[in-house]
Structure 1
Amino acid sequence: MDPFADLPVNTSQEALFSQLEYINCGSSLSSLPCELLLTLGSSMDGFNLICLRLYNPTNTGAVQIGNVDLVSKFHDLESQLAQATKDKQELSEKVASGERQNERLLRKLSKAARDKQAMSEKVESHELEIERLSRELAEKDKVHKRDSKPLSTELSEKHKKIESAMERI
């Protein structure tokens, strides 16, 4: 049976100290032979005390003043905060790594774009050269055809002259 079960739960600073004095049979707080643990938080009346645990070395357990659920919630929040901080750090590292990866990919993409532009200019230059050579070849072909007709005519005339000269002989 808990001898302190009938104590009212009050989060005001004055009430907590008076409860402690009552538990310690009227002694002042400075003479308490036990360890006090204050868990800080926010209360309705403006004091920053959620729960005060009184650990008495002569007892096997702890006498608690305040709400036990608040203590477990506080510890849960502490662990959640620690996990959130760790997760935030991991995410920050992932973001930084992603940003470095993006910068590398951007440099690679920029280099590929410059290489593509240079290759496009080369291809365009080669296409212009091919076009020029094609026109030049077409002109030479025209000249050759034009020149070949008179040459063939001239050759056939010379051949006829040679044949007629051979016949005379």
Structure 2
Amino acid sequence: MITSGLYNRLIRKRGLSHRSTELRFDAMAEQRLDPESRVTLSKQRDRLGQPLARVDWKIGSCEIESIKRFAQIMVDEFDRVGLPRPQLADWIEADDSGAAAFMDMAHPSCTTRMGTDPLTSVVDPNAMVHGIDGLFVAGSSVFPTPGHANPTLMVLTLAIRLADHLKRRHQIEESRKASIRDRQLSTHHI
């Protein structure tokens, strides 16, 4: 609406098309890792008979308290600069954490976390599954921590990084094979 209004006002030399009567803030928060939040296979199957994924997503007290604290800071700041007090979500106003309403952003991640320790991660820094040579994982599942924003660019970055690693790995392997062939040929000519 703002962009459209500015375009109409500045480019088309017309008035603003709408007037806002309210401003809404939605908070998006990064979650702490929780082993109880997980993706598993359900008993339901798709049309090809494959099990469907089931996302069991948990919101902990840390996330709830973070959003409540953010709301209080926002109220304090509005008061400080003389703006009208924002209307907070009912559960925040009532201090009823049990009624907290959260919504996922459809980006489950961290299910095959990247790290150096096989006890706390699934893939190494090159996205190869610990202990299984040649098995690599690409996607937001390798994120070491979840984010609140759309993960597409980071997934793309990790995919390009993995592609570069696989290319180098292939070149090293081909060079090693060529070296072995050269040694074998030189021993046959002696």
Q: Normalising by the residue count of structure 2, what TM-score does the alignment of the two structures yield?
A: 0.30
- Structure with bigger gyration radius: 1
Q: Comparing both chains, which one has the higher relative contact order based on Cα–Cα distances under 8 Å and sequence gaps of 6 or more? A: 2
